[in-house]
Structure 1
Amino acid sequence: MFAFTALLFVLYFLGTANSSSFSGSHALLAHAHPLHARALASRSVNIFQRAEFLNAHNEVRLVHGAVPLTWSTSLAEKAEQWANQCQFKHTEGVLSTERYGENISAGTGLFTIRKAVGTFTADEDQYDPKHPSYLHFTQVVWKATTQLGCAVAQCDGIFDKSQGKASLYVCLYDPVGNVIGQAPENVQV
């Protein structure tokens, strides 16, 4: 039992380490620029990563009065399909005829799940409930959204070669958030 607990602690510590202490770390959201790249090594999200994606999202949702998200294997498979293509842009509906909410982020160095989700919520201060806008943050806290599926791929060519390989994170949300006219009942600040 001690070995398992120690392993969980180490995995948690590795997942929450601060990348700002590493030189050359770089992070951007997908809307910054759509560059195409090639996946170097993709991997399915393991149980610890699932928990980290859910925890990082649900901690923010709790503060904003939204119920916790649950994991969707179907959404995770779609997210992995897109992440493996190493296209640093939104899917624009190519994964399915169904609509999903979507957040994408990429970074180099020790760019963890928590760092990626942090980029999704970094635009929170731009939200004005009197004049609602639809942001990465609003999708994370959208009350009508109940399911989450995410993936990560290691990609070449997202950033300048001197930055090294990038971790490309893709998260999909269902039901879709950021529906025009529905922000007042779905976003609590």
Structure 2
Amino acid sequence: MKVPTTLLLLAPATTLGAVITITRTVIATVGPEIPEPTQAAPPNIIPSVPVYSGNRNSVPANGGKAGGGSDFTDAAAFQNDVLAAHNFYRKQHGAGDLVWNETSAQFGQKWSEACVFKHSGGPTGENLVAGPPNATASIDLWGQERSLFDFKSGGFSSGAGHFTQLVWKATTSVGCGRTTCNGKGGTPGTYTVCEYYPQGNIVGSNNKYFRDNVGAQIQGKPDDSAVAAAVGAVSG
């Protein structure tokens, strides 16, 4: 049995003022004698129980402060805001809610503490962002990339790679870490590292994986944001 050849690609970093983001893509080469690749659980990644329902009308743990999200100091608020923002976009694109993965969070935390803005090379999907004021705003940067994704043809786009990982249907858990770098290592503000299991952004023949895992928006408006939803939940 031939073994699929995989190539890890780093999408170019995107810079928005004092905010920078980067995502990672896996290319799976699939031939006629090679079965489609599957995601096997790495031994150190153990999905944990859900801690947030993902209801877009729920109030973030901080009560919706600081522009629709808590600051980065409270661990419980950070965790809830991460899940709320991810699941806000996933619901709009027909994907199931993510649950918190503490092992992934510990991995992301350790990597963020180095304040080096590059991918870890770890076993899971990974999104990076530095600069936004809170977790909700950070994830909004990734979610708003949906305007750059071609839902008709599918396939990986360097401008929308964070978004496609965020809403990837086969991904079931996420864990994130954050460190206030404030310029250390050239990384502005607070550096957030999110790890996804199973990983998304798998490129195969004819864009099959993207067509199967990145759904068109089925509710809400294209310019909806997790920050606006969090603020609306509080004010409404």
TM-score where L is the length of structure 1: 0.70
1:37-85 residue CA offsets vs partner (Å, 9 max, x unmatched): xxxxx97x62221111000000000000000000000000000000101
Specify which structure has the bigger relative contact order, considering alpha-carbon pairs within 8 angstroms and separated by 6 or more residues. 1
Cα deviation for residue 11 of structure 1 reads 1.9
1:66-122: CA deviations, max 9, x gaps? 00000000000000000101111221x1xx4xx2111111116xx111110011122
Aligned to 2:181, the other structure's residue is in SS state strand
Residue equivalent to 1:141: 167
Runs of 4+ with >3 A deviation: 15-18, 158-161
The secondary structure found in structure 2 opposite 1:53 is helix
Percent identity of equivalent pairs: 31
Shift of 1:159: 8.7
1:173 aligns with 2:196: yes
Judged with a 3 Å threshold, the aligned counterparts in structure 2 of structure 1 residues 167 and 146 are, in CA distance, closer, same or farther, namely same
| 1:122 alignment counterpart | 144
Give the aligned partner of residue 107 of structure 1. Answer: 131
CA distance in structure 2 between the partners assigned to 1:57 and 1:140 by the alignment: 7
> TM-score, normalized by length of structure 2?
0.57
Question: Among residues 39, 48, 58, which one is paired with 2:77 in the alignment?
Answer: 48
Give the aligned length. Answer: 148
Matches of residues 44-83 of structure 1 in structure 2 within 5 Å?
Answer: 46-83=75-112
Inter-CA distance 61–131: structure 2 relative to 1 (3 Å threshold): closer
SS at 2:129's partner residue? strand
Q: Shift of residue 14 of structure 1?
A: 2.5
Q: Structure 2: any 5+ residue segments left out of the alignment?
A: 1-58, 217-236
Change (3 A) 1:141 1:174: same
How far apart, in 2, do the equivalents of 1:15 and 1:186 lie? 33
2:60 touches 2:80 (CA, 8 Å); kept in 1? Answer: no
What does residue 11 of structure 1 align with? 62
Secondary structure of the structure 1 residue equivalent to 2:195: strand
Q: Note the aligned Cα RMSD (angstroms).
A: 2.6
* Cα distance between partner residues in 2 of 1:9 and 1:146: 21
- Could you tell me which amino acid in structure 2 is paired with residue 155 of structure 1? C
User: Would the alpha carbon gap of residues 73 and 10 (structure 1) be closer, same or farther in structure 2, given more than 3 Å must change?
Assistant: closer
Letter in 2 for 1:119: L
